[in-house]
Amino acid sequence: MFSIQSRLKLLFVVIVTLVLSISGSFTQYSLGKALEESNQRLRKGVITRLQISLPSALWDLDKSKVDSIVEAEMLPPEVVSIRVYDSSVGLFAGKVRAPDGKLVAVERAPEPGGQAVDAPLVFLEGGSASASIKPVSVGRVVINFSRAQIDQTLASELMRKVIDVLVLDLILVAALALSLRVVFEPLKQLRDGLFDLATRGSDDVEELPENRRDELGDVIRGFNQIQRRLKSTIGRIREAEDAARRSAQQTAQALQDLRQTQESLLQAERLASLGSLVAGVAHEINTPVGIALTSASVLKAATDELEVAVNGAGLKKSDILRYVETASESARLIMNNCYRAAHLIHSFKQIAVDQTSEARRPFGLHEYIEEIVSSLQPKLKKTPITLVLNCPEEIVLDSYPGAFAQVITNLTLNCVEHAFEVDTAGEIMISARLDGDVVELHVKDDGRGIAPEALDRIFDPFFTTRRGQGGTGLGLNIVYNLIVKQFIGTIAVSSTLGQGTHFTLRIPRVTPVDGAAETRAGAKAEDGANAETIPAGPGVQA
């Protein structure tokens, strides 16, 4: 990992190197320019002095003087050779600087290097006092100048600058390493503390020493304060988690108790509905049984009178005819009311067995709803409410008749109790149709309807608009649970105030197999299958 400390060192080294390089380049450029100007002045001076001093010596053909002048001008190391040419004899004299720095005659030296400058030599014939000065060209001088001294000076200066930069960089890196250590060592401790705090428990992390009295010391003290506060927060969180865990356990236990209570209330509601059915059927059976008993009593009295007349001597044809008429009417009344009682007992027995058993069996929808309606007649006949059934007879369900009876009973009684005012006439219509493999059942009334604010809550448990008037709020909740959970269907409700309520139920014609329901129903399946079937006789009313 390329740390901040390394990046800072590199940044400072780059900045210092760049600044020193720019400064050195400018210095190098200035030095080169100064050396070039000095070299130019040297060249001009040498050429000028040679053009002044050589013409007279060359005019006089004084070779020793020429050599002296040449040696004097070759004292600067930049001058590597001077060759003097006479206009008549050619090369006259000259010196060349040997590699060891000594001056040798031009005849014994190779061709010199460097930049050559060719300058003419002019002698002023007649002297300076003569009125007729005539310039005469006596020859020329060739001077070779070398740039080695300049290049060496520039190279040595460049080397010195490079060494300065390297030394300054080393000094800077060392100084930065010492100075940044003062800053980054506490930061490293702080980093390690943060890492430990993030990866280990806060209780296992020790606080950093607070012996510094600078800005980093303030940071460390702030870190320790945050750590202490974090430990306190974690402690409170743990306490809150423990409290939440205990609350969750208590809530789960309360929910379990609530579900058990709800199940108990649902069972009590179903048993109360069955008890009401028993009371109503018992009251309803009392009438045909009473009529049959009265008719039997009349028949027995007539039979006793006929027996007395037969045993005596006063038996007449009119007595026999009267007895026959009485016996025929009594037998008719007894038969009709016994059949009526038998039908009520059959319906009650079938409904009661279904409601106390979760056995599954096929049943005709129309016939079974008629039996349910018959069991509800004791409740319905006390009201001016008309119940209309519109259901095709060919629809057969393979389902749970007890649960279905509970659904129809609760929906019908809910309409009776809530849809109509007391002694107000109305109509409840139960209709059904087959939509593929789904049976669509409609239960609707023309009562007062349901308020919009209560429409979304009518299936909630314990919700009732008749609190304190006998309403438990479980009737429609039982219907919802049976339709959705046991029949795997749907139920919807729509209502308009003053125009009634419409329940729409959609359940599969063949209820999907529920292993749990089948298991619970197994113990009572035999009782439901052995339910006695008694055909309705003449005069029996639904």
| 536 close to 343: Cβ distance less than 8 angstroms | yes
pLDDT digits over 10-36, tens only? 887 888 888 888 888 888 888 888 888
Residue 537 lies in a domain: no
pLDDT digits over 423-472, tens only? 888 999 999 999 999 999 999 999 989 888 888 888 887 677 665 555 55
- Residues 366, 337, single domain; the answer is no
Residue 22 lies in a domain: yes
Residue at which a domain ends, from 336, 357, 378: 357
pLDDT at residue number 362: 92
Residue 297 lies in a domain: yes
Residue at which a domain ends, from 306, 339, 357: 357
- Residues 223, 160, single domain; the answer is no
Residue 187 lies in a domain: no
Residue 174 lies in a domain: no
| CATH code assigned at 465 | 3.30.565.10
Residue 333 lies in a domain: yes
- Residues 437, 299, single domain; the answer is no
pLDDT at residue number 174: 84
Provide the domain count of the chain. 3
Query: Which among 347, 418, 427, 353 is positioned nearest to 386, based on CA atoms?
Result: 427
Residue at which a domain ends, from 318, 334, 357: 357
Residue 539 lies in a domain: no
Instruction: Indicate if the pLDDT at residue 357 is higher than 60.
Output: no
Strand, coil or helix: what is 188?
helix
Distance from the first to the final alpha carbon of the chain: 93
Instruction: Indicate if the pLDDT at residue 54 is higher than 80.
Output: yes
Average pLDDT, the chain: 78
- Residues 208, 348, single domain; the answer is yes
- Residues 141, 25, single domain; the answer is yes
- Residues 399, 254, single domain; the answer is no
- Residues 282, 219, single domain; the answer is yes
pLDDT at residue number 282: 66
- Residues 222, 367, single domain; the answer is no
Instruction: Indicate if the pLDDT at residue 262 is higher than 70.
Output: no
Regarding beta strands 396-399 and 438-445, do their DSSP bridges make them parallel or antiparallel, or are they unpaired?
unpaired
Which residue range(s) make up the domain with 331? 204-357
pLDDT digits over 363-394, tens only? 999 998 988 888 787 778 888 888 999 999 89
| CATH code assigned at 134 | 3.30.450
pLDDT digits over 82-126, tens only? 888 888 778 888 888 888 878 888 776 666 777 888 888 888 766
d(CA 354, CA 309): 53
Torsion of CA 221, 223, 229, 232, to 10 degrees: -110
Residue 418 lies in a domain: yes
pLDDT at residue number 172: 81
- Residues 102, 31, single domain; the answer is yes
Query: Which among 446, 481, 478, 452 is positioned nearest to 465, based on CA atoms?
Result: 452
- Residues 302, 419, single domain; the answer is no
